[in-house]
Structure 1
């Protein structure tokens, strides 16, 4: 049986642990993708209803395996979301390339990224940010949310269109990145969707405010 002094110490330790847990629960789990004002959210607490719907669709396709396969995903099931959807190939050497991109993605970045590496399609800064996020999705086999300012965007040196890609730093975004696997374990593709906001349409993200 614990002595009064031991009991007091145990009570103090328990209260300290409870306080630490409460404080941790109150902190944002977001990871800043420095030096940019963009963030990765491993909890995947999506706000935009369109991204929530795609995430729920992905979860519904998991069935027995923890990660659905590309063959389980049918674009006809989420036609309204297709313009903002893009798919990424996770290549054996650890790099990534665009498998396809919806019309809203092409219009946003002013280039057709299909079949191109991240650096070629997006430019160096955006490629570094995207690679970090996609690597985490592949390694952990879990969905990831990204959000924040689009200050990471640098137009590629050679734009695919006659008009060069424009500055997007005044815009904000929210995106979801969903792993796909042929065997339920090793990720070979990532299903993504991105919603960009500008002007009065920009939502508030309380978790990154201030």
Structure 2
């Protein structure tokens, strides 16, 4: 009896166009999942993710009207938003002006069970930072259903005239 062929996966087409920090986080997530569709939260070591922690969000996928709830919000994300949405629903506390846009990103990850990139720019609360690309990485405790989503955004400083 022969073994199953080794599963080979290629990185998403969009990955090479992303900033180095998004590429690095994707590759870490990919290593942690091994042969699985997605890793579990327990597969991620905060010590390995130290460079990303200030910009990370961990979002719970919940089975009620809230749909998605911020479990962990990094200090950079809190500063950019002007508030800490930890424990609150995404629909009422999304970083973008249109909450339905944020929900579509999370829905895409849950339905596809695959990483997702959003390149829609979003301006920080103080109008000095612009979120350019955000990566959404699915996590699963049972290996098949997304129960958490890891999010990280690349930012750029901007000087906008005050209106």
2:118–2:133 CA contact under 8 A, matched in 1: yes
Give, in whole Å, the separation in 2 of the partners of 1:180 and 1:193.
Answer: 14
1:98–1:118 CA contact under 8 A, matched in 2: yes
* Partner in structure 1 of residue 62 of structure 2: 91
* Partner in structure 1 of residue 90 of structure 2: 118
* Partner in structure 2 of residue 105 of structure 1: 77
Provide the aligned C-alpha RMSD in A.
2.3
Give, in whole Å, the separation in 2 of the partners of 1:123 and 1:65.
Answer: 31
Give, in whole Å, the separation in 2 of the partners of 1:57 and 1:116.
Answer: 27
Give, in whole Å, the separation in 1 of the partners of 2:46 and 2:151.
Answer: 12
TM-score for the superposition, normalised by structure 1: 0.63
Q: Unaligned regions of 5+ residues in structure 1, if any?
A: 1-41, 154-164, 201-210
Q: Unaligned regions of 5+ residues in structure 2, if any?
A: 1-11
Distance 1:126 1:105, change over 3 A: farther
Give, in whole Å, the separation in 2 of the partners of 1:123 and 1:180.
Answer: 21
* Partner in structure 2 of residue 186 of structure 1: 145
1:44–1:176 CA contact under 8 A, matched in 2: no
SS at structure 2 position matched to 1:92 = coil
SS at structure 2 position matched to 1:55 = helix
1:59 equivalent among 11, 30, 51: 30
Paired residues for 1:14-53 under 5 Å:
43-45=13-15, 46-53=17-24
Ranges of 4+ aligned residues in structure 1 off by more than 4 Å: none
1:177 and 2:136 aligned: yes
Shift of 1:172: 4.4
Shift of 1:111: 0.6
